[in-house]
Structure 1
Amino acid sequence: MAGELDQKKIQKLFSTHAPGIDEVVADYVQGYLSDAATAITSSDGRDGGEDPVEDLIRPMLEDACGSGADVAALCTHFSQMLSELEQAGAMKRPALAKLAAPVNMAVQLAQINKATKASQFGTTDMAHVKGRQVASQVDVKKLRKAELRIAAKMEKRGSKSRYEASKLINENPLDDNDLLMRVNPILDYTSTRDKIKDVKLDSFDISFSGKRILTNANLHLVYGRRYGLIGRNGIGKSTLLRNIAYRELAVPTYISILFVEQEMAGDDTPALRSVLKADLFREQLLRDEAAVNEELRRLDAPEQLDERGEAMSKHEVEAKKAEMGDRLNSIMTKLQDIEADKAEAKAGAILSGLGFNAADFARPTKSFSGGWRMRLSLARALFCQPDLLLLDEPTNMLDIPAVVWLERYLSKWKSTLLVVSHDREFLDEVATDIVHQHSEQLDQYRGNFKSFWSTREERRKNQLREYESQMQYRAHLQDFIDRWRYNANRAAQAQMKIKILEKLPELEKPEDEKVVTFTFPNPEKVSPPVLYMTDVTFGYSPEKKILEHVNIDMQMDTRVAIVGPNGAGKTTLLKLLIGKLDPTGGMVHRHGRLRIAYFSQHHVDQLDVSLTAVGHLKSMYPGNTDEEYRRHLGAFGISGMTGLQEISTLSGGQKSRVTFAGLAVQQPHFLVLDEPTNHLDMESIDALTAALKQFEGGVVIVSHDERFIDSVCTEMWVCAGGKVAKFAGEGIKEYKRMICPADE
């Protein structure tokens, strides 16, 4: 037909020049070419100077397939097809067909809604019909920009044809939570309670950015058990969680999954309402209840029309009412089953446990900082109670009371939990099993972290003994074969030994433990007074003071931990100490030769992630050779080619190590560290602990890691209520018991 492109020809071109292209991209290009053809045939030709192939299709294909000869050939064919269409004279708009009868849009919309709801709440398990769902690899942000460009062009042309956007694009921007919800559709979890919800993943591989993460790995998650996932920084733990969350691994589709990885996007929704909205099934039931009640009110009106627009008889009205009544009873039964009436109280209790006060419940989510929005993401997941909850370092943004509350809450978690954490105390309280990721494999252990630590070492010794024993047996067999293989009298025995050797299972030698070491150079001594505050007061406004009348004194042998609830002013106190903030009252004295190195809990913001680790040190601390920088990074576990990778490709723990390497270059007298253990693996935390013990300068730490504080610090200060005071108790354990009584 004039004005249309040969879709079969386009598909053949794709199969010839780009057989492995993402199906969504191919569909999108086909749709856009059709729209471009429609625009050509319904106007006076293309807009001056605009070329749909060069402006949009070529960049998208290059992004999906790379800039090669096949992409160039495809674009040439597409341009030729559009040119032939233009030259064929198909420049007139197609005649509009007259409708045989007026279209009742209200009736059509009602039919669509009815069909949609039937698919959601009917007896058919659509998840099983569709099978495994895999998240598209298309960059949705780029696709959304392309959609906006197309819409603008069509508006400029005055095109009246309706443009169909990609199915990956919504009217509102999508964050990762929205994308996860699309991969994990609304599930009627009242109907899945009797299904087996164990997750059994056998012989799967995972790669990321060309690097193999897992090879022929197995993961078995028994419903109701809580698994702690541990491993070195950069080993791929977060990648494994993402692959499960986006169903790129074969998790049964009737199992609901929620993944808490990053902070939620802020908007005008109140905090409490944002938590309630996270339960999509409850929200759908409430919408259906409102729709059915509205329909019942409409049926009570004096005159009713059916779907054809004709008056309904009394019998038809009564039958419709009975149908709506049955539907309402079903909805109300499900709402009662999920205890929808207790939802607000449950959401409020979760928010309170995570540190939100009653006044915060009504605040819009966009008014919270990133750390508090992270807590909101966690609250939403806990409220939903998915069949499989995935958490990535959930304690990083929490203070000690919130960590204790979360430990107690998760220790009673009834469904399956898989949590990445390097906090040993947290894993001891929460985990029933440990999954150790290493050497592209996953090893599972029963028990908490303490049990794993002892079992793992014994297991490794047994594996080493078994490996060495088999190597000796293999050598013995091979020696016999080599000696008697060509001897007529012993040939049969040699052949038997060959068969035994071939049947022996292949054992891999347990990997040697890599020792991680951190080193901070010892500074020269400075005479006292070194660093002190006298009657310091600070507030960002006169009405709201954060700290008042603070008096502290520090020497070169200071080892102090600052604890207290979030928002009490701990980070503000550190910034006053290092001179990033000036007090509104009182005085901060720093020795004239004092060098202070500061580790911020938001240290990633201080890194230019487009640089390599070596490039970062070179730009911040110039004067050395690349080899010296690489050697220095190697002392903090950034060895080999890792130091030459872009920082954006490093894990959170590796970025922390780069920052620590930068601190050491400064040769400080004082190390001021704000949540330094966040993102570090256990070996790195141990290495940091040992380095701080050997460091002869002062150390000031804000942390919630109980073991780390106990190992490094000799005294504790409590920052709360605008005051800073030395804790008189016996350390972090007593402080923890004091603020979080066991009967809470």
Structure 2
Amino acid sequence: NVDFQYPGSDRKQLIDISMQCSLASRVAVIGPNGAGKSTLIKLLTGEIESEVGTVWRHPNLRIAYVAQHAFHHIERHLDKTPNEYIQWRYHTGEDREELEKNERNNAEENQKAMEQVFVIEGEKRVVEAIVGRRKLKQSYEYEVSWVGRSSVDNTWISRSKLEEMGFGKKIAEVDAAEAAKMGLNRPLTAKEIEKHLAEVGLEPEFATHSRIRGLSGGQKVKLVIGAAMWNRPHMLVLDEPTNYLDRESLGALATAIKEYGGGVVIVTHNREFSEALCTEVWKVDNGRLTPSGHNWVSGNGTTVIKEQEAEDMVDAQGNTIKAVEKKKKLTSKELRKKKKERMERRKRGEEVFSDEDDL
């Protein structure tokens, strides 16, 4: 039930949005230009936050996000080789790009939280840093260091308590760092990176011996995707991949996605690409979300929404193309089940319409 409105905007970009993803998700996000698709994706990945509604992510979740303007990921590193870029990004044991983004987005709120004075064991203290995390029943607790005190005075505080204290974004940063470490259980060597980039179609000649500025557009995109996938994410989010990949590369990406064991969310106008890969569609229009297909919100992944069998599609200019609805023919087993359900409803005194008998 999330609403979102950018500061200074005269209208809400998203209204009462509810959705859910898992490792099994294969989602196509469609809708006209300006409908709120990119805003929805930014909420999903944590790039922006809403003050209305609830957004929950597993503390150990790793998301790989490739933006619509894919080259912005590497524009500050054009004089590095692809191999050097990945080494720079992950050499601390964390994803530096993700950490820098979080620091930019959360700086003001984190600063306010750090300036607060708390009474701990009868003494006034100011938080210096959150330096560790450990399991606590079904959640976590975090090790807090205090200004002017040694490490022996560090305190373990529960997640819920820290959130009450105003450290929600700070513990999200700690969670992201811990999640990244879990995905980096392989050597960050030139040879290993070379092998990894070869798997996304970037040959060793370019991966190790060419500067990024000298790569073609397609090669740069392969680098961006390869770098995002280095820490073995649970979920891959692609914003308009058909804008920056040629047909051959799209085919290779489609094959890789089919074999990928995590969740996939794709913002796209390409009907052929989405239909080949996605079992669920999120249609965004005028700030509202209409899901169809295999929907994890309704019934914990067991329900198929049949409200509209043929989805309206949207072309590259944002024009809605009306689809012709097809009436699905039910199997004998489904017909018997429907008949049994109608009989039980009649026994309970519920009204059953005659046209239901035609289903």
Q: TM-score, normalised by structure 2?
A: 0.54
Structure 2 counterpart SS, 1:601: coil
Identify the residue that residue 313 of structure 2 maps to in structure 1: 735
Distance (Å, rounded) in 2 between the aligned partners of 1:636 and 1:646: 18
Are 1:629 and 2:193 matched, yes or no? Answer: yes
Question: Can you give the 5+ residue segments of structure 2 that lack an aligned partner in the other structure?
Answer: 92-186, 293-306, 324-359
Distance (Å, rounded) in 2 between the aligned partners of 1:663 and 1:581: 19
CA deviations 1:595-633 (Å, max 9, x no partner) are: 111110112111022211111111112251111111111
Displacement of 1:536: 3.4
Are 1:619 and 2:88 matched, yes or no? Answer: yes
Are 1:654 and 2:219 matched, yes or no? Answer: yes
Displacement of 1:564: 0.7
Structure 1 counterpart SS, 2:2: strand
Structure 1 counterpart SS, 2:27: strand
Structure 1 counterpart SS, 2:250: helix
Identify the residue that residue 563 of structure 1 maps to in structure 2: 30
Displacement of 1:555: 2.2
Displacement of 1:580: 0.6
CA deviations 1:634-654 (Å, max 9, x no partner) are: 111111311121111112111
Displacement of 1:736: 5.0
Counting only pairs closer than 5 Å after superposition, residues 572-721 of structure 1 correspond to structure 2 as: 572-607=39-74, 608-622=77-91, 624-643=188-207, 644-721=209-286
Higher share in helix = 1
Counting only pairs closer than 5 Å after superposition, residues 386-535 of structure 1 correspond to structure 2 as: 534-535=1-2
Displacement of 1:544: 2.6
Distance (Å, rounded) in 1 between the aligned partners of 2:67 and 2:202: 20
Structure 1 pair 648–598 and aligned structure 2 pair: CA distance change class (3 A) = same
Are 1:726 and 2:291 matched, yes or no? Answer: yes
Displacement of 1:682: 2.1
Structure 2 counterpart SS, 1:641: helix
Distance (Å, rounded) in 2 between the aligned partners of 1:630 and 1:645: 12
Structure 2 counterpart SS, 1:699: strand
8 Å contact from structure 1 (residues 562, 701) kept in 2: yes
For these two proteins, the number of residue pairs brought into alignment is: 208
Distance (Å, rounded) in 1 between the aligned partners of 2:262 and 2:193: 23
8 Å contact from structure 2 (residues 5, 11) kept in 1: no
Distance (Å, rounded) in 2 between the aligned partners of 1:580 and 1:553: 17
Displacement of 1:739: 2.3
Query: Aligned letter for 1:735?
Result: M
Displacement of 1:731: 5.4
Structure 1 counterpart SS, 2:78: coil
Query: Aligned letter for 1:591?
Result: H
Distance (Å, rounded) in 2 between the aligned partners of 1:726 and 1:582: 21
Query: Aligned letter for 1:627?
Result: K
CA deviations 1:584-605 (Å, max 9, x no partner) are: 3111110111111111011211
Structure 2 counterpart SS, 1:552: coil
Distance (Å, rounded) in 2 between the aligned partners of 1:697 and 1:665: 14
Distance (Å, rounded) in 1 between the aligned partners of 2:43 and 2:309: 27
Query: Aligned letter for 2:282?
Result: W
8 Å contact from structure 2 (residues 3, 12) kept in 1: no
Structure 1 pair 731–685 and aligned structure 2 pair: CA distance change class (3 A) = farther
Displacement of 1:702: 0.1
8 Å contact from structure 2 (residues 35, 286) kept in 1: yes
Displacement of 1:540: 3.0
Structure 1 pair 639–627 and aligned structure 2 pair: CA distance change class (3 A) = same
Query: Aligned letter for 1:580?
Result: E
Distance (Å, rounded) in 2 between the aligned partners of 1:605 and 1:740: 32
Query: Aligned letter for 2:284?
Result: C
8 Å contact from structure 1 (residues 536, 551) kept in 2: no
Distance (Å, rounded) in 2 between the aligned partners of 1:731 and 1:693: 23
CA deviations 1:674-708 (Å, max 9, x no partner) are: 01232322222111111111112111110112221
Distance (Å, rounded) in 1 between the aligned partners of 2:275 and 2:86: 32
Displacement of 1:741: 5.5
Distance (Å, rounded) in 2 between the aligned partners of 1:545 and 1:640: 47
8 Å contact from structure 2 (residues 271, 313) kept in 1: no
Displacement of 1:729: 3.5
Higher share in strand = 2
Distance (Å, rounded) in 1 between the aligned partners of 2:63 and 2:310: 26
Identify the residue that residue 299 of structure 1 maps to in structure 2: none
8 Å contact from structure 2 (residues 14, 36) kept in 1: yes
Distance (Å, rounded) in 2 between the aligned partners of 1:731 and 1:632: 39
Structure 1 pair 654–556 and aligned structure 2 pair: CA distance change class (3 A) = same
Structure 1 pair 544–694 and aligned structure 2 pair: CA distance change class (3 A) = same
Counting only pairs closer than 5 Å after superposition, residues 181-330 of structure 1 correspond to structure 2 as: none
Q: TM-score, normalised by structure 1?
A: 0.27
Identify the residue that residue 209 of structure 1 maps to in structure 2: none
Two-structure CA RMSD over aligned residues (Å):
2.1
Structure 1 counterpart SS, 2:229: helix
Query: Aligned letter for 1:667?
Result: R
Structure 1 pair 736–598 and aligned structure 2 pair: CA distance change class (3 A) = closer
Distance (Å, rounded) in 2 between the aligned partners of 1:546 and 1:690: 34
8 Å contact from structure 1 (residues 536, 587) kept in 2: no
Displacement of 1:548: 1.4
8 Å contact from structure 1 (residues 718, 726) kept in 2: yes
Percent same amino acid among aligned pairs? 37
8 Å contact from structure 1 (residues 716, 731) kept in 2: no
Structure 1 pair 731–658 and aligned structure 2 pair: CA distance change class (3 A) = farther
Distance (Å, rounded) in 2 between the aligned partners of 1:549 and 1:660: 32
Structure 1 counterpart SS, 2:269: coil
Structure 1 pair 549–656 and aligned structure 2 pair: CA distance change class (3 A) = same
Distance (Å, rounded) in 1 between the aligned partners of 2:20 and 2:189: 39
8 Å contact from structure 1 (residues 600, 673) kept in 2: yes
Instruction: Give the structure with higher Rg (CA).
Output: 1
CA deviations 1:162-221 (Å, max 9, x no partner) are: xxxxxxxxxxxxxxxxxxxxxxxxxxxxxxxxxxxxxxxxxxxxxxxxxxxxxxxxxxxx
Displacement of 1:538: 3.2
Query: Aligned letter for 1:618?
Result: Q
Question: Can you give the 5+ residue segments of structure 1 that lack an aligned partner in the other structure?
Answer: 1-533
8 Å contact from structure 2 (residues 66, 238) kept in 1: yes
Query: Aligned letter for 1:739?
Result: T
**Using CA pairs below 8 Å that are at least 6 residues apart, which structure has the higher relative contact order?**
2
Structure 1 counterpart SS, 2:237: strand
Structure 1 pair 547–637 and aligned structure 2 pair: CA distance change class (3 A) = same
Distance (Å, rounded) in 1 between the aligned partners of 2:197 and 2:284: 34
Identify the residue that residue 165 of structure 2 maps to in structure 1: none
Distance (Å, rounded) in 1 between the aligned partners of 2:310 and 2:28: 10
8 Å contact from structure 1 (residues 556, 696) kept in 2: yes
Distance (Å, rounded) in 1 between the aligned partners of 2:44 and 2:314: 26
8 Å contact from structure 1 (residues 539, 547) kept in 2: no
Distance (Å, rounded) in 1 between the aligned partners of 2:310 and 2:213: 38
